[in-house]
Amino acid sequence: MIRIVYAGSSPPDSPDGVQCLHLPALRTKALRFEIPADGNVAVFFSRNAVKAAVANRDFGTREWKEVWAVGDRTAEELRRCGVESVRVADGNFASFLELQNLGDGEGVVVFGLKDSPRSVKSALPKSQEIDVYESQAISDDSYRQKAEDFDPDWVIVGSPRAWESVRTWKPARCRVAVLGDSTASELDEVDHIAAVPSVYELMVELRDRKDEI
């Protein structure tokens, strides 16, 4: 049995052999926004962006030529919200930028996080990025005690902004795992970078390779 703290926004499913404590590191808030009139391809990098976008009535009435999700969990959220035809890019931000069939990005609308350090403009210069939600690192004094009592082997961090919270309460012996190089490159403490596409699979990897990593 290994113990893992997950700092993402929603409680994850835990595989056998993993005891998980959910301590969300970010507080999110949907923003008011308008969808560009010429947008016909929608792109999502997170479930929070999906939730904010589908709450906008214009999104549901728009005839989208394509709807892209980066990662399986983002795709699952789109389907849960009633978007049946979803194209999925494996796992991370970089993999989406490698796609070649969106041309220069004309008509592409990226629904994203306000002040996000990530941008598709280098690959899709004519795309339009709109802010649909914002997030703030949670400062909760109780987290430190909860984490110390749990005595985790690992904490899974999903973004640089989440790390702002996690670093204030993470026990010293607890190691840090992330999904993908893009997040890892912006953290000052990383012990394992996973190439798997989901948090669940990362937990499985940490469990199965606990004597190697």
Exposure b/e, 39-69, CB count within 10 A at least 16 = b: bebbbbbbbbbbbbbbebeebeeeebeebbb
72-85 average pLDDT score: 90
Q: Could you tell me where the beta strands, DSSP code E, fall in 100-199?
A: 108-113, 128-137, 154-157, 175-179, 192-194
3-state helix, strand, coil in the chain (%, to 5): 30, 25, 45
What are the tens digits of pLDDT across the range 85-123? 999 887 666 667 766 578 888 999 999 999 887 788 888
- Statement: residue 7 has pLDDT above 80: yes
Q: Which pLDDT value is given to residue 37? A: 93
Q: Domains of the chain, with CATH numbers?
A: 2-25+138-208 (3.40.50.10090), 28-135 (3.40.50.10090)
CA torsion angle 68 70 73 78 (round to 10) = -20
Look up the pTM and report it: 0.74
Point out the least confidently predicted range of 37-41, 86-90, 124-128.
86-90
Between vectors from CA 190 to CA 20 and to CA 91, what angle results, nearest 5°? 70
